[in-house]
């Protein structure tokens, strides 16, 4: 079974500061191309044994943005 999906990937404007020792950690994280909106699609996997749920859900990007990663889903 082949599943094609859309993801967010690419380059975002970023900069690396010189005074890293004097800044809090949250100021050191850099922007990445991440999801603005996404949805889940579900595919049925053929040939699974009866006691196994044959469904697989995967994310599909609807739109992207430059920002911090949301570790709840990225």
Phi, psi of 39, rounded to the nearest 5 degrees: -140, 165
C-alpha 21/C-alpha 55 separation (Å) is 48
Nearest by Cα to 68 from 30, 38, 36: 30
User: What's the predicted TM-score (pTM) here?
Assistant: 0.59
Higher pLDDT residue, 35 or 54? 54
C-alpha 63/C-alpha 38 separation (Å) is 7
Higher pLDDT residue, 23 or 2? 2
- pLDDT tens per residue across span 48-63: 999 999 999 998 999 9
In the chain, what are the domains?
A: 1-73 (2.10.90.10)
* Residue 21: Cβ within 10 Å count: 5
Mean of pLDDT over the chain: 82
């Amino acid at each position: 079974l082949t599943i094609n999906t859309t993801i967010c990937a690419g380059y975002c404007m970023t900069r690396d500061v010189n005074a890293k020792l004097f800044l809090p950690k949250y100021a050191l994280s850099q922007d990445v191309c991440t999801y603005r909106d996404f949805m889940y699609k579900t595919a049925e996997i053929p040939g699974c044994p009866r006691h196994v749920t044959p469904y697989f859900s995967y994310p599909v990007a609807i739109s992207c943005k430059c920002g911090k990663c949301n570790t709840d889903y990225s």
